[in-house]
Amino acid sequence: MIGSRIGRGASHQPGREKKTQPWLAKALNPASLLPGMVVGFLLGLWVELPKRGFGSSRQNPVPKKKGIVGNQSVSQIGDDGEELKMVFVVRQDLKMGGGKIAAQCAHAAVGIYNELLTRNRALLKRWEDCGQPKIVVTCRNQKEMNELRGKADGAGLPTYTVADAGRTQVAAGSKTVLVIGPGTKASVDTLTRHLRLL
């Protein structure tokens, strides 16, 4: 049985062996490499130009106090050059492990990013240009998390709450992490400076 498997793939007849080039030699062959680079460059232009516009520069200013995220007007974002930040608020009462907290914060980051990608790209771009600052803090329980979200929504800051699927450490539907921002440091700190760093 083993011998028949080995015999299928290999041809032991001297005249029938196929000459093959190593894959790296094929990939670096100028006949393949140059057209591939040109196609890659053109695809990159095709993807990037519609985002920025044909005549605009890379450093587009963010319009002052404009944009909508969810039902909230983003009134805390000016063009005064102040850095933006995002705060992740993790519930202490759920007693999640380090890996679980990391996964929940990742869900929260992806969730708010997707929301902003569809609703307020200018704010998202400005936050990215600031280096995407993120801070993780803790709150005591669901009640405190709900109060923080209400205050953030009232201040016009973007928010996103993660509801766990319940596959591992916490019950399904548990609200694990609240994201506030991105917003100016002053506006976010007003709501979160009293919370303990994780």
Q: What is the domain range of residue 24?
A: 2-52
- Locate tokens 């030699």: which residue? 25
Residues 103 and 9 in one domain: no
Residue 26, pLDDT above cutoff 80: no
Do 82 and 129 form a contact (C-beta atoms < 8 A)? no
Supply the CATH number for residue 84's domain.
3.40.1490.10
Please choose, from the candidates 70, 89, 67, the residue with its C-alpha nearest in 3D space to the C-alpha of residue 178.
Answer: 89
**Quick check: 128 and 80 in contact, CB under 8 A?**
no
Predicted confidence (pLDDT) at residue 166 exceeds the cutoff of 50: yes
- Sorted by sequence, the CB contacts under 8 Å of residue 123 that are 6+ apart come out as 62, 67, 69, 74, 77, 84, 116, 158, 182
Among 19-28, 46-55, 163-172, 183-192, the least confident range? 46-55
How far is Cα 27 from Cα 100, in angstroms, rounded to an integer? 42
Quick one: 72 and 133 in the same domain? yes
Is residue 134 assigned to a domain? yes
Rounded to an integer, the average pLDDT of 119-148 is: 94
Same-domain status, 163 and 76 = yes
> Any idea which residue has 């790209």 for tokens?
121
Per the model's pLDDT, the better-predicted residue between 34 and 71 turns out to be 34
Q: Residue range 120-132: average pLDDT?
A: 92
State pTM to two decimals: 0.61
Tell me whether residue 97 is in a domain.
Answer: yes
My answer on whether 103 and 172 are in the same domain is yes
Q: How many Å apart are CA 70 and CA 182, to the nearest integer?
A: 13
Task: Inform me whether the pLDDT recorded for 174 exceeds 80.
Answer: yes
21 with 116, same domain?
no
Report the C-alpha gap between 161 and 173 in whole angstroms: 11
- Asked if residue 92 and residue 36 are part of one domain, the reply reads no
- pLDDT of residue 171 exceeding 90: yes
Asked if 68 contacts 119 with a C-beta cutoff of 8 angstroms, the reply is: yes
Asked if residue 136 is part of any domain, the answer here is: yes
pLDDT of residue 80: 62
* pLDDT confidence of residue 61: 41
Compute the Cα dihedral for 163, 167, 168, 172 and give only its sign.
positive
In a domain, 26, yes or no: yes
Same domain, 14 and 95: no
β-pair partners for 73: 68
Residues in contact with 6: Cβ distance below 8 Å, sequence separation at least 6, in sequence order: none
Q: Clarify whether residues 176 and 84 are in a common domain.
A: yes
Task: Give the chain's domain count.
Answer: 2
Tens digits of residue pLDDT in 105-115: 999 999 999 99
Domain termination site, one of 52, 76, 94: 52
Q: Are residues 178 and 145 in the same domain?
A: yes
Integer Rg of the chain from CA: 26
Q: Is residue 57 part of a domain?
A: no
Q: Are residues 112 and 41 in the same domain?
A: no
